[in-house]
Amino acid sequence: MSFILDYYNYWVVVFLMMTGFYIVISANNLVKRIVGLNIFQTSVFMLYISMGKVNGGTAPILVEGVDVYSNPLPHVLILTAIVVGVATTAVGLSLIVRIKRAYGTVEEHEFETQGDVI
């Protein structure tokens, strides 16, 4: 039982990662692919935050009478990564908008047969 609890978080992270990966490689719609990429990204966040957790610890904000804190470093890395993530997602979505304008569709199997229209 303790073996399962020790690795449960990592297994769910791998599951989420593979779900995102599957959406990215199998979906035809580009918006859905972006959602898949975001799921993949969130799973990586989850991996980092899981590694930073200390059993019996508390949030890394100094409080009287508490000695055990979770690791603040992964929190810092992920906090900035989330904001950078949404910024890059916005760039991806605006590329999709341009693709829609140029080809009239965002389904990959429909526009990959068309030539260069721009």
Partner 1 sequence: MTLLIDLVLLAMLALTALRIIFLKDLFAVVMLFGIYSFLSALIFVNLDAVDVAFTEAAVGAGISTVLMLGTLALTGRNERECERSSLLPLLVVCVTGAVLIYGTLDMPPFGHADNPVHEHVAPRYIQDSPQEVGLPNMVTSVLASYRGFDTLGETVVVFSALIGVLALLGVRREDNSLTPESGLKSHLVLHVVAKLIIPMIILFALYVQFHGDFGPGGGFQAGVIAAAAFILYALVFGLPSAFSVVSPKFLQVMASLGVLLYASVGLYSMAKGGQFLDYNKLAANPIDGQHYGIIIIELGVGITVFAVMLSIFYAFSSQVARLNIR
The rounded distance, in Å, linking the Cα atoms of 12 and 19 is 10
Place of tokens 């910024």: 87
Map the footprint of partner 1 across residues 76-115, applying CB under 8 A.
76, 78-91, 93-98, 100, 106-107, 109-110
Neighbours of 76 (CB within 10 A): 12
Q: Does 66 bind partner 1 (CB under 8 A)?
A: no
Instruction: Give the number of residues in contact with partner 1, rule: CB under 8 A.
Output: 83
Tell me how far CA of residue 16 lies from CA of 43, 72, 93, 102, in angstroms: 6, 24, 22, 33
Q: Does 59 bind partner 1 (CB under 8 A)?
A: yes
Map the footprint of partner 1 across residues 9-28, applying CB under 8 A.
9-12, 14-23, 25-28
User: What pairs with residue 78 in β-bridges?
Assistant: none
- Crossing angle of helices 30-52 and 2-26, in 10° steps, is 160
Q: What is the smallest separation between the CB atom of 20 and partner 1, expressed in angstroms? A: 7
**104 vs 115, beta carbon nearer partner 1:** 104
Q: What is the smallest separation between the CB atom of 114 and partner 1, expressed in angstroms? A: 15
Q: Of residues 44, 54, 115, 117, which one binds partner 1 by CB under 8 A?
A: 54
